[in-house]
Structure 1
């Protein structure tokens, strides 16, 4: 089947006619930043959302997601204006529309919407090189590749990803990386690469330092609690979690986040392991406030080799001591702080958690050290530095 258009562009949260359309704001006097992302805007609030919501102060920001199947016979583009000022664009493709046919449709949907808005001054911002298959014909005044992860090392990565990244690096005016390890891996391939490690919204997570009501699904869990929030996928060492839970049955391990790319049946099941599911960004400080120690039990594999976890400074901003496996960027940035403890085995992880529980007792020292570590670390600062790099690369 051929989907040739013209395509539909539906404004609002869905095609439900009972819902009122949401106003799309587009200022023809400012440039447009088109962000092409493998991550969904409404999934987990992280680096893309922090940065794009800030870039929306200076640009018309369009956040183009990967397609979602639809039961409709024809493709269409859902346009969801976000309260941050970002327009979230979600392509809806019919069943069976994949491969080169999907690329043609995505190109048509994207071109049609850019024409509809009258976009003339365009900046491209890539989170995934795979988006080149439908956007390589665009003529932006600047192309930025914000490489936040080594995507080729993730489970289920497309085989073309490495080749596409080579092409994107050739086209990009600027390359940003999500951490120093990733920067070291990419800097030989681009002369204008810059490391921008994970930052933090200190004020948001500092709310966890104040006494508050425990969320209902956490309130009945005894203390001490070891907590983690984030995507539960192949990057998590589920065997380590099981062994810690077995070694200390009185400790409660609280895991907050969606399960992705792994079978939930493979997750360890014990009375002292609690899976609370995904939560919104606004809810996270309330959960963090109820933990005694924050943990980062990451597996040491190809998918974690270059990560720089955003949650490290978030946990510290919330006033929680941290125990992590020896992720390179965590060790080099926080390993000598005294309140982020590193452990490479289950036995060492238990010992480190015991020390972290003692750290939590000396709250004044904990908070003073955390504040010193965080310093001027903020997404506003990161965004400001990125803008300067973009101006210099014009």
Structure 2
């Protein structure tokens, strides 16, 4: 299996592919390109590099798996046994989305044999555009995030933060409700917000600077359970806008696997999947969100009930199950 990442600019005048082998034998292919190139030059170079690489590796009639329609700019000539469009988000609604993205998606939908979506809301939006579309909501590596259920030392940058701690990890961008967190932090200085992740596409200077909001920056996947283990409540404070209309946050089951009650804004796929579980509370306004946090803090006191309920919600979830179902549909399409 080969995973081709976005190209990275270099100071070199020569283009090449940086190839490394990861877990389970997945080979990650990272194009390294000279800077100051036009989009046309970039696409021509990528097309040539990948064609030569696939020929050298003896790759013919592969399963072509797309996460973004923009990759068609340098792969539209490739023929595969099956073409899959794995649509994880409504990318055209994101801030800074390329103007051509919608046009490229139409082309990819016409080319694809299968369409997978990252949740039910997205599937409802795409199923009218493709006859072979299937929803695959977020799953979870229970064993990995389950490490957070075991008491462990706090990471150095979290250790001094007082409790109660309300945590979030993920990208802080236009999908994150900055005003919601700022308003609650101002009204409730006793609550401490731990925000883990990079700030992207928004000006960091616009973020609230309350002393009880702690920005810890990006962390790697392996570190996340250690942070999660030190939180009292986990948050999904997403703004309600076009960029969040179809999201199905992977962090929801991850928080539960870590044994942490959660509070979310009313994102459709969170409400329909977790809204009646008793371990993910839904709130819209700052007052409602604050009340839900207080209720979740009470939920955390009955840890045995919390863990039993979370385990019931997660019982049928695993990435292995998701992959087996995807694999079955791919085999049927060949």
TM-score scaled by structure 1?
0.84
Q: Distance in 2 between matches of 1:380 and 1:117?
A: 27
Q: Does 1:207 align with 2:147?
A: yes
Select the residue among 308, 311, 323 that pairs with 1:383.
323
Aligned length: 334
Shift of 1:206: 0.9
- 307-316 vs 61-70, which deviates more? 61-70
SS in 2 for 1:326: coil
The Cα offsets for residues 163-188 of structure 1, whole Å up to 9 and x where unpaired, read as: 11001011111000000000000000
The Cα offsets for residues 62-110 of structure 1, whole Å up to 9 and x where unpaired, read as: 1111211111112222112223311111112212212111111110011
* Aligned position for 2:281: 341
Q: Distance in 2 between matches of 1:116 and 1:97?
A: 26
* Aligned position for 2:104: 164
Tell me, yes or no, if the aligned pair for 2:116 and 2:136 is still in contact at 8 Å: yes
CA RMSD, Structure 1 to Structure 2 (Å): 0.9
* Aligned position for 1:367: 307
* Aligned position for 2:30: 90
Structure 2: 5+ residue runs without aligned partners? Answer: none
Structure 1: 5+ residue runs without aligned partners? Answer: 1-60
SS in 2 for 1:181: helix
Q: Distance in 2 between matches of 1:278 and 1:84?
A: 25
Select the residue among 53, 68, 84 that pairs with 1:144.
84
* Aligned position for 2:246: 306
Q: Distance in 2 between matches of 1:139 and 1:286?
A: 44
Q: Does 1:325 align with 2:265?
A: yes
Q: Distance in 2 between matches of 1:370 and 1:184?
A: 27
TM-score scaled by structure 2?
0.98
Where in structure 2 are the equivalents of 1:69-148 lying within 5 Å? 69-148=9-88
Q: Distance in 1 between matches of 2:23 and 2:12?
A: 28
- 115-124 vs 226-235, which deviates more? 115-124
Q: Distance in 2 between matches of 1:79 and 1:368?
A: 43
* Aligned position for 2:93: 153
The runs of at least 4 aligned residues of structure 1 exceeding 2 Å deviation read: none
Q: Distance in 1 between matches of 2:306 and 2:8?
A: 45
- 295-304 vs 256-265, which deviates more? 256-265
* Aligned position for 1:186: 126
Q: Distance in 1 between matches of 2:100 and 2:150?
A: 48
- 283-292 vs 78-87, which deviates more? 78-87
Q: Distance in 1 between matches of 2:18 and 2:105?
A: 27
